[in-house]
Each structure stands twice: as structure tokens, then as C-alpha cells.
A = this chain, B = another copy of it.
Amino acid sequence: MTAHAAALRAPQQDRSRATRRRLLEAAVECLAEVGWNGSTVAVVAERAGVTRGAAQHHFPTREDLFTAAVEYVADERLAAVRASAEQLPPAGSGRTEAVVSMIVRLYTGPLFRAGLHLWVAAATEEALRERIVALENHVGRESHRAAVEFLGADESVPGVRETVQATMDMARGLGLANLLTDDGPRRAGIVRQWAGLLETALAGGRPSC
């Protein structure tokens, strides 16, 4: 490539990346609002202000677009959580509750809602299933790793790994409970109580009162 061609190419790549990002963000918003049935490539392209042809250039199939969208937004969200982690209070002064709140927030926003529509669609759509299983593994692993790190949990202690997993499962259950109604007030009490139990459990590995 000549220097001139390279100079022309860079802004084009930037534009292409920006288009891709707009499509991915629009896809997650769309899934969260209207569910899998209403989420077509055309609807997302329109929301993103992109032609349908351009959308299909980036994502040849509907499954490509939505799987990539949930993965992209999940990774962005996790990166944002990691970036804000230094604002967490130090251990022993409400840190555990702050971390549990942070995890639960990941599962109660529009990203979880979008993911939920995709997971449930994948239960009956073969074309989605394999990708969604891989996506779930990836996101689950990264979230678990972040939780272990922020909680300062030592997974070499028997039971600690399962305690952290139970926390993620509880957060997922709270996300589902928030789907149709605002479950916020009930959830706040559960987060507080869980944080107390978790702090005790992590201090001792297995409960040993």
C-alpha cells in the first residue's frame, strides 16, 4: 500500500468501526425494547441511521448481528466496571455490599434484558443456540473473574468458588425478577443481606460459626 492509500484508508477504517459500533448498540437497545421477534436487521439499521446494505456488509446474518451486539456491549460494560473499580470502598467498610450491588446492576439493566431475549430465543432456534452458549460461557467467565477480583476472594479455599457462583446466580435471578415490574425496593434488602452472608462466608471459606 502506498503512503497515500494508507492515509486515505485510516479515516475509512474509523468510519467503518464507528458504523459497526452504532449498529451493535442499536441492536442491544432494540432487543431490550421489542424482543427477538421484533428485532430485525432492517429495524436496527434504521435505528442506527445506517443503510440496510451497510448493516449486511458488517453482519451477514441476523444471528451474527445480535450475538456480536450482546458480546460487544457486555465487554464494554465489564470494561467500564473494571475502570470504576478503584472507586470501591476498601475491604471492611462496605466494600462487599458495593461489589454485590455492582454485580446485581450488571444483571438488571438493558443489557441483561437484551441477553435474556436472545437466550430464550436460542432455546427454540437452532441457528442461535450454539453461538449463544459460547457467548454465555465467555460473558459468564469474565464476570466471574471480575467478581473474584473485586471481592478479594481466594478460590483455592474450598467452597469459595461456589459461593461466588451462587452470588452470580442470585444476581441473574434478580435480573429475571425485574423483567416485568420494578423490583428495586425488594432487591435492595436482598443485596444488603446477601452481602453480609457473603462477607462472613468469604472470611471463613465454609461457614464455621
Interface residues of A (CB under 8 A from B): 33-35, 37-38, 113, 116-117, 119-124, 129, 132-133, 136, 159, 161-163, 165-166, 168-177, 179-181, 186, 189-190, 192-194, 196-197, 199-201, 203-204, 206-209
B180 & A165 in contact (Cβ 8 Å cutoff): no
- The CA of A121 and the CA of B120, in the complex, are separated in Å by 10
Q: Return the chain B residue nearest A204 by Cβ.
A: B209
**Which residues on the B side are within 8 Å of A177 (C-beta)?**
169, 172
**Which residues on the B side are within 8 Å of A119 (C-beta)?**
176, 179-180
**Which residues on the B side are within 8 Å of A180 (C-beta)?**
119, 122-123, 129, 132-133, 136
**Which residues on the B side are within 8 Å of A133 (C-beta)?**
180-181
Question: 13 additional contacts, CB 8 Å, given A123-B180, A165-B186, A176-B176?
Answer: A34-B124, A35-B123, A116-B176, A119-B180, A123-B179, A161-B189, A163-B193, A166-B190, A166-B197, A169-B173, A169-B174, A172-B176, A173-B174
**Which residues on the B side are within 8 Å of A209 (C-beta)?**
200, 203-204, 207-209
- The CA of A193 and the CA of B201, in the complex, are separated in Å by 10
Q: Name the distance in Å between A27's Cβ and chain B's nearest Cβ.
A: 16
A166 & B194 in contact (Cβ 8 Å cutoff): yes
- The CA of A208 and the CA of B196, in the complex, are separated in Å by 9
**Which residues on the B side are within 8 Å of A172 (C-beta)?**
172-173, 176-177
A35 & B203 in contact (Cβ 8 Å cutoff): no
**Which residues on the B side are within 8 Å of A136 (C-beta)?**
180
Q: List 11 A-B contacts (CB under 8 A).
A: A38-B124, A120-B120, A120-B179, A136-B180, A159-B196, A162-B189, A163-B193, A165-B189, A166-B193, A166-B197, A172-B176
**Which residues on the B side are within 8 Å of A159 (C-beta)?**
193, 196
